[in-house]
Amino acid sequence: MGEFDLIARYFTRPARRAALGVGDDCALLQPRPGHQLAISSDMLVAGCHFFPDVDPRALGHKSLAVNLSDLAACGAQPLAFTLALALPEVNEPWLAAFADGLLALADAHGCELVGGDTTAGPLNICITVFGEVPAPGGRSQALLRSGAHAGDDIYVSGTLGDARLALDALLGKADLPADVLAQARQRLEQPTPRVTLGLALRGIASAAIDVSDGLLGDLGHILECSGIGATVNVDSASSLIAASACSTGARGQFSINLSEVQRRLLTLCGGDDYELLFTAPTAMRSAVAAAAQTAHTPVTRIGQIDAAPGLRLMDHQGQAVPNTYASFDHFA
Amino acid sequence: MGEFDLIARYFTRPARRAALGVGDDCALLQPRPGHQLAISSDMLVAGCHFFPDVDPRALGHKSLAVNLSDLAACGAQPLAFTLALALPEVNEPWLAAFADGLLALADAHGCELVGGDTTAGPLNICITVFGEVPAPGGRSQALLRSGAHAGDDIYVSGTLGDARLALDALLGKADLPADVLAQARQRLEQPTPRVTLGLALRGIASAAIDVSDGLLGDLGHILECSGIGATVNVDSASSLIAASACSTGARGQFSINLSEVQRRLLTLCGGDDYELLFTAPTAMRSAVAAAAQTAHTPVTRIGQIDAAPGLRLMDHQGQAVPNTYASFDHFA
């Protein structure tokens, strides 16, 4: 199967919202009047972001999910994406499953594949995603990292830690019961981008980012971009430990017992969670609760933005906790 | 040096035309009213698209040039791009030179780096480029592959064959004098995207594509998308053999002597030329000539579009020439 047959068979569908889709030198997109295009690009490399033998359907899902998560963090409505794919070989069952996983998530979000590139090479998936954000009169409603103010609450959606727990188990660094691993692995391999929550938070959140490198590291980006500091209650954060990590097993007991140290590590610097971390003025507490309800996504308050720069950690008793948590860095 | 320092040092500059550039979850772009966004994505893999030891400045140039060439083929004005980069290691001199070559070409075209991704992995460069095309009342002025009609002339810009000649020499398949190789290699490693010509051809050309896989292969895409056929004069096409291949050497002689067979191979299926291949009604001949003059880019008429499907080759005497020319396919 040649390059052009491959594109035609697995990745070409008629253009829907795009003015022109797959098959020309360029795709053509026209955002609605009064809207901006939000653009994000993520590259996934075999052996770095995923195990080379990962289920290709899950990989297709995750490749788009991590990009949709960036749109969610901007409060953007998914519109379209391009896919550039380097493949070591043409493996048709693999490609069919990859395309299935990818396009199922794309369809669920009305996000159209409009173009891209395929080439030979070590397995590498690069997706660039496009979303729409209202910008009436040029005033963008996008959620940015730079909008947090002193006094704002800090929130996280959903739960944290499962992806890292699964990764540690798959790397042989942790021993997990099969049922726990299966649940945690689902979060690692098929994360849910919080698109609906991101949309619901427009006009409510003051700043937002998605949790990909680890909660504290990603909060650091908000602090830096907003030029402020924060105090995080590590007990509130570690209470977000994912259901699978402390769920009751078949015999009504905890499947695994994590120490407080482990919980803190998994939640504060686990990474790959794709939850939304956001700030909002205290006057918006009921609006945040309503947005969470609209999006069917729980959110938890874990701290407060401070005028003083720097990140401070404390526990439920208000005691300072030393910050010994490093977030993920591809080159560190 | 960590991932975020690397982005800050080499790839972050203040946003200019973009509403928001590098450093948030998404970049924000707003095409002017009445304009569409043309989008194209190309992935370059070490060992497949370039030699791993290629000059990083040239590689930075080429990575963006092949994408700008797609915008040129659409008649789109470059606006912005994202860069996703997988690096086997952080090599600062390499990165500085790569960024220099990349951003020099970007600046020459007013094309702003607005975001992207960096990660560890086998060297891979994925650029997604954005251009603007007028679409008054939703009627796009983009040049498409699908617009050719029976009777239209077929044109190619500039010269062909140098890139393939250099590649053959670097692979040890051809022996070239140093001066010829240096010239040919310049075309292989630092191609000139025909952006100005593409813009000048809006409203004149009926269809266009850039020559990346080889002249006849890329013409095949126009024929397929337009549902028509063509007759190409292979002597006209092979007269486009690049200057370096038959230039007079220091002593006033041809540096190399290519046979007619070699000239045809290099021009008809060389690949990596990044010239524009386009069609235009015969009534547009003087308009095409004027556009070529405006863009300071010579164009040559090499054939005619036919109503009958299929691609026919003939020589200057009008004799049929068998089509034994295969174009490039990453998986063939």
Chain B partners within 8 Å of A212 (Cβ): none
- Cβ separation B24–A48 shorter than 8 A: no
Residue A331 DSSP code = T
User: Do A132 and A168 sit in the same domain of this protein?
Assistant: no
Handedness of CA A109, A112, B121, A210 (dihedral sign): negative
ipTM of the complex: 0.89
Which of A41, A144, A145 to mutate: most B Cβ within 10 Å? Answer: A41
Q: What is the pLDDT of residues B56-79, one digit of tens each?
A: 999 999 999 999 999 999 999 999
B230 found inside a domain: yes
* Nearest residue of B to residue A142, measured between CA atoms: B28
**Residue A49's domain spans which residues?**
3-138
If you measure CA to CA, which chain A residue comes closest to B84?
Answer: A43
pLDDT for the residue numbered A323: 86
Contact B28 A39 (CB under 8 A): yes
Residues A168 and A240 in one domain: yes
Closest partner residue to A117 (CB to CB) among B41, B117, B121 is: B41
* B170's tokens: 């670097």
What pLDDT is attached to residue B205?
98
Looking at residue A283, its pLDDT comes to: 98
In a domain, A324, yes or no: no
Q: Please tell me whether residues B316 and B225 are part of one structural domain.
A: yes
pLDDT for the residue A151: 97
Hey, are the CB atoms on B19 and A36 less than 8 Å from each other?
Answer: yes
Cα A253 from Cα A85, distance rounded (Å): 44
Both tokens of A223, joined, read 């602090």
B133 contacts A70? CB cut-off 8 A? no
Is there a domain that residue A229 lies in? Answer: yes
Taking an 8 Å cut-off on Cβ atoms, the answer to whether A329 and B49 are in contact is no
Q: Are residues B132 and B158 in the same domain?
A: no
Whether residue B221 is contained in a domain is answered as yes
Residue A148 lies in a domain: no
Give the closest of A71, A126, A329 to B2, CB-based. A329
Query: What pLDDT, on the 0 to 100 scale, is given for residue A250?
Result: 47
Determine the residue among B26, B140, B226 to mutate to test chain A binding: the one whose Cβ has the most chain A Cβ atoms within 10 Å.
B26
Distances (CA, A) of B257 to A199, B175, B177, B260: 65, 11, 11, 10
CA distance A297 to A159: 10
What is the CATH classification number for the domain harbouring B32? 3.30.1330.10
Are A33 and A164 contained in the same domain? no
Identify the CATH number of the domain in which residue B199 sits: 3.90.650.10
SS3 A108: helix
B interface test, pick of A7, A10, A25, A199 with most B CB neighbours within 10 Å: A25
Among chain B residues, the shortest Cα distance to A4 is held by B329
Nearest CA distance, B83 vs chain A (angstrom): 8
Identify the pLDDT of residue A29. 86
State the alpha helices, DSSP H only, in B214-299: 215-226, 234-238, 243-246, 260-269, 285-294
Per-residue pLDDT of chain A (332 residues; tens, 9 = 90+): 777 777 777 777 766 666 676 777 888 888 888 899 999 999 999 988 898 899 999 999 999 999 999 999 999 999 999 999 999 999 999 999 999 999 999 999 999 999 889 999 999 999 999 999 999 888 889 999 999 999 999 999 999 999 999 999 999 988 888 888 998 999 999 999 999 999 999 999 999 999 998 999 999 999 999 999 999 999 999 888 876 656 554 444 445 778 888 889 899 998 899 999 999 999 999 999 999 999 999 999 999 999 999 999 999 999 999 888 766 666 65
Mean pLDDT of chain B: 89
Same domain, B247 and B103: no
| Domain C-terminal end among B138, B166, B192 | B138
Q: Kindly state the DSSP code that residue B56 receives in the 8-state scheme.
A: H
CA distance A126 to chain B (A): 7
Mutate to test the interface with A, among B79, B118, B126, B222 (most CBs of A within 10 A): B126
Query: What residue of A is the nearest CA neighbor of B145?
Result: A24
DSSP designation for A307: S
- Please tell me what DSSP assigns to residue B248: B
Q: Tell whether B25 and B125 lie within a shared domain.
A: yes
DSSP secondary structure letters along A168-233: HHHTTSS---HHHHHHHHHHHHS----HHHHHHTTTT-SEEEE-SS-HHHHHHHHHHHHT-EEEEE
Cβ–Cβ of B70/A41 closer than 8 Å? no
Q: Report pLDDT for A13.
A: 72
Q: How far is CA A40 from CA A74, A101, A148, A277, B28, in A?
A: 10, 20, 21, 18, 9
The structure's pTM equals 0.91
Residues A175, A304 share a domain: yes
pLDDT band at B249 (very low <50, low <70, confident <90, very high): very low
Considering the domain boundaries, does residue A285 fall inside one?
A: yes
Q: Nearest C-alpha of chain A: how many angstroms from B115?
A: 7
| A160 plus A118 within the same structural domain | no
Same structural domain, A92 and A38: yes
**A-B Cβ pairs (cutoff 8 Å, strict):** 245
Given B83, B110, B138, the domain boundary residue is: B138
Sheet holding A153-157, edge to edge: A207-210, A276-280, A153-157, A299-306, A229-233, A310-314, A320-321
Q: How many CB atoms within 10 Å of residue A108? A: 14
Same domain, B98 and B215: no
The lowest-confidence range among A260-269, B14-23, B285-294 is B14-23
Assess whether B157 and B39 both reside in one domain: no
**Inside any domain, residue A275:** yes
**Token digits of residue A243:** 């259901």
Nearest chain B residue to A126 by CA distance is B126
Q: What pLDDT shows up at residue B250? A: 47
Report residue A140: phi and psi, to 5°: -70, 135
Q: How many domains does chain B have?
A: 2
Average pLDDT over residues B306-327: 90
Specify the range with the lowest mean pLDDT, choosing from B17-21, B104-108, B262-266. Answer: B17-21
The pLDDT value given to residue A330:
63
Distance from CA of A124 to the nearest CA of B (A): 8
Instruction: Give a yes or no: residue A110 inside a domain.
Output: yes
Candidates B86, B119, B145; nearest CB to A24? B145
Distance from CA of B231 to the nearest CA of A (A): 22
Of A138, A173, A203, at which residue does a domain stop? A138
Cα torsion through A331, B48, B216, B241, rounded to 10 = 100
Say if the Cβ atoms of B43 and A332 lie within 8 Å.
no
CA end-to-end distance (rounded Å), chain B: 40
Q: Which residue of A has its CA nearest to B208?
A: A25
